[in-house]
Amino acid sequence: MSAPAVSARGLAKRFGPREALRGLTFDAEPGRCLAVVGHNGSGKTTLLRILATLSRADAGELSVAGRSLPKESVAVRARIGVVLDDALLPSDLSLAEGLRMHADLHGVPSPEARIAELCERFGLAPRQDDPVRTFSRGMLQRAALCRALLHAPELLLLDEPSNGLDASGTALLDAEIRAHCARGGAAVLVTHDLERVAACADRALHLRSGRIDADGPAADVIRALRGGAAA
Amino acid sequence: MTGWRAFSTVVRWDVAREMRRRSTLAAMAATALVVLFVLSFAVDARRADDPRIRAGLLWVTWILAGAVGAERAFRGGRDAMTDGFLLAPIPRASLFWGRTVSTFLFTTAMSALSIPVFLVLFDASVPSAGLAWLAAVSLLALLGMSALGVLLASMTSSVRGGDVLLRLLMLPVLLPAVAAAVTGTGQLLGGQDPGIRPAALLLAFDLTFLGAGHLLFDHAAEDRT
């Protein structure tokens, strides 16, 4: 049995007096998409930022892509692709230049061919030489997905990746997540969009006030949440 | 990716972006020119004849303009390029060195632009024999200022009012370096030989903050929001 893509044991994070995460314990398996759902302020994004090495847990043990955090954070960053609420592409550079910068930082072989392939796949090829500041919200989100996939990461960490996407963009996102998992990669999808969870996730965690409130097959967690909302 | 390759990649892309938008250079140059013009009107011409006063005016200008550059050098959570670097598989120390060197290049360019304006406005001159000394001391002081600025900016970038806090922290810590630079520059403008002491003090200052940044940047750049 292969090692978990994410293994968290008793993960805790505090911001001053506020406990953002309270002893989270869970695994994310390779070849599977784990959805993390919950209301605003439930700790979803804090969890994702810790997995992405942008923040550090105050307590607990964590390994991501088989490497221990925070000790092996450089090796972890080489193995993850992250989509946050910002595309993380400099607005003054063109999309191709911004992706080239990330390709350089990740040591991507044949970066020009890889950039052209991804821009084509995400429908951005006609705009790849335009400054990123001229892009719409949906195009920025597609560009963020290109950036996250550039170095063929083992683990995708996605924070509300469908924000701003139109129907075709959302379908493309779902297909990319499923294809990534079919290739043996793993994904952690942070969202409050239960449609995306139903479309992409195998398993779901429901966070409430920094604690795991429900953990199970995605369909069961969605049913429980919809039932709770109806009740 | 090795530390050296990561460092050179950060510098190359920082410079490439600045060449495209020129906002950091423009902000620093504008600050330097405004401060110099205001000081040229405000300072009594007879007192400005004192080389120590002239040296002080030059360094006040560079520090204020340099603080603008330092604040723009690290905007974790507010700058796509910085956040992109933070997510890259590179040692954070390489990011510190890269950002310090690119900030140093921008502040050096600002200083080079402001020197002729300063010499004209304050009717000052630098003895040709002292040019190398002035260049060496200026570069040492600007390097230390860049290292300190990047380190402090990484600590304050995610704090509310971080821009103000950066200046409040940076200016007092800079005092030893500023005192050495102003004393030496004043002696030079007055036609005296400043000797090796100011440069040695600045070198010690640089080594202190380059070392501190190398060791602490990983923690300093962490998200605290």
CB A50 within 8 A of CB A43: no
Chain A residues with beta carbon closer than 8 angstroms to that of B1 = 105-107
Chain A residues with beta carbon closer than 8 angstroms to that of B87 = 52-54, 77, 82, 88
Q: How many CB atoms within 10 Å of residue A166? A: 13
Listed in order, strand segments (DSSP E) in A3-56 are 6-15, 18-28, 33-38
For residue A81, the chain B residue with the least C-alpha distance is: B87
Kindly report the backbone phi and psi dihedral angles of residue A42, in degrees, each rounded to the nearest multiple of 5, phi listed first: -80, -10
Q: Do B13 and A104 touch (CB under 8 A)?
A: yes
Residue A228 C-alpha, separation from nearest chain B C-alpha, in angstroms: 31
Residue B225 lies in a domain: no
Q: Which residue ranges make up each domain of chain A? A: 6-90+138-219
Task: Give the model's pLDDT for residue B214.
Answer: 93
Task: Give the model's pLDDT for residue A1.
Answer: 52
Nearest C-alpha neighbor of B221 from the set A157, A101, A54: A54
Per-residue pLDDT reduced to its tens digit, B171-210: 889 888 888 888 888 888 877 877 888 889 999 999 999 9
Nearest C-alpha neighbor of B66 from the set B110, B22, B19, B10: B110
Residue of A46, A49, A74 to mutate, interface with B, max B Cβ within 10 Å: A74
Q: Do A102 and B223 touch (CB under 8 A)?
A: no
The interface predicted TM-score (ipTM) is 0.86
Q: Do B87 and A91 touch (CB under 8 A)?
A: no
Q: Do A92 and B223 touch (CB under 8 A)?
A: no
Half-sphere exposure of A6 (CA within 13 A, CB side): 27
Residues near A220 by Cβ (< 8 Å), separated by ≥ 6?
Answer: none
Sign of CA dihedral B70, B75, B81, B85: positive
Q: What is the count of structural domains for chain B? A: 1
CATH of region A6-90+138-219, choose from 3.30.70.1070, 3.40.50.300, 3.40.190.10, 1.10.3720.10: 3.40.50.300
Distance in angstroms between the alpha carbons of the first and the last residue of chain B: 29
Chain A residues with beta carbon closer than 8 angstroms to that of B86 = 54
Per-residue pLDDT reduced to its tens digit, B46-97: 566 777 888 888 888 888 888 777 777 666 556 778 888 889 999 999 999 9
- d(C-alpha B138, C-alpha B156), whole Å: 26
For B171, the token pair is: 């200016």
